[in-house]
Structure 1
């Protein structure tokens, strides 16, 4: 009896000792790709690995195997499989998933033989349909805009983008004050209210005061000419001329002043009397101007001395 029990459990010994592991479930959006890692023990490095759809191996539809060379291109095939013995993991890639492909799948290692069962593990894949994203102005259902099957919407005033990762964005173009309102954004059965407030753009005015001569504009004003050697020599010559002319005028003025003083001196009565006396003794003209070249002799009655001036 014991031997019979032992023989009946023999095919399941590899399952107990050497399990293949992966995540219990995966969720993916329709149209997207999915990668499923299946980890195994080192002793299975050289074994054939496979991926099939179903709940058990006996009722599982094979989709990819590592001994099938056509199933190693993850980009070109609907389903592909790649084994990495060093990391002890084989990876299954499923492309362009559809909602009807949701269900149970098996990561398996083929052991072979009647007494030995394959080492397998199960996972559930759920492909969800991408729901439309809608943006509406509260109280005006005719304003509702949806992404549609493409996952996006855009016109001259608004753009809706769905990145298909759990978030979608709404972008206003050329916002106006009249866009201030309450809006609804919804995805499937989920809906949330959003308030948009548009405020006037702040403006800054800078006053600039420009003054210019009344007879010419700023554009006609020329910068001062730089002082050069030639201009400095010209200025020096002009200055010397001014100094010489000023000196000559000063001398002329002094001469005229002296002549005027001399003429005034000639009219003095004392000088005229002296001139008359000199004329009596010398016979010269009594003009005082001749005194500068005359000798006057005075005779003293009490003395025979003669004084000359």
Structure 2
């Protein structure tokens, strides 16, 4: 049959030769919209078709008539022929899983020996169901076989019963109604069951199903030495008689702390004082109470079903226990004490450090400025002294070849009225002698001094009397 279809396909559909299909995935309830340009290949008068390929034949879904557009009989498929742009458009709305299949848009021609459809575009449409469930929910799907990753868990010939193990194969069963319609049931769903499944009939996939299983979560806070109470809900019809457990998550395992059953916790459990689990099977609520809490009790816990040694999570609870405040303390005091104990800087410490650094920077700036001013004054004073020394030097006032010595400023303050000059050379009798007197000295007249005589001894007079000073 398959070989015959392959032979007839090019004959009935000349335009299908060498064509490949495009895969389009849509969820149920979605819309498919495609365009098929026909350019010069067809005239505007030729009818356009939207076909479902079945065994090499065109199962017509909708076609154009004298009008430029037309709807299908069910109203969910519409075809439009844009003769201006020479493009035919297909729209499928409210998609269903049974709409999955291979489609093509085409026009019919009589130009070949065997009239047939000229394919314009091939679409492989995959409409999938998207199912959202909570953990421990039950899933029902009308499906002859429940398959995943190339393996079918439940097939038509299977009639397994409910099991207490965690294997999906043992949690899935199949049931047939009076008309022989198969229904697959999957119980105690877990997050690890999320994935892509499909229903299959023999080797043919019929329906693709995208399953997403979410876990229920809670957040709880309590203080040291306090008490916390948690409520977890479950389906009464499915789990009223099951044993409920309270366990703490530790790595890949969950350590059981208390159960509703009379038996002690499982091998991976340890009873904890102050923990009680109460099951209200009439309301479908499990109430867990933990007393005398300590900071080390913070962590992740489960409300779970306990079946033999296996645990199935009902809800996940994150518990946070804070330290008790000291008498007369406040949350800020507690936080500061924790910062000190843990060595973590608080906001006040940060402010203090910032102020200290600012003060040190300001002091360094002031010190640098003061040193700069002092250095500038020292340079100015040194320059003045060099100028005074230049004026006092005899090289600037006496004749070349002579040197003089000025008396100290102390002598000037005592009001001395003369200046001694020692002339080393032998000036002539008519050589002039100059003496520089500062304006300050010229202005004042020391008492008891009217004039000063300076005499020089000739060589011949050196053996006689010494010069007289008055």
Q: TM-score range by the shorter chain?
A: 0.3 to 0.5
Higher relative contact order (CA 8 A, sep 6+): 1
TM-score (norm 1): 0.37
More strand by share: 2
Structure 1 or 2, whichever has the larger Rg, is 1
TM-score (norm 2): 0.26
More helix by share: 1
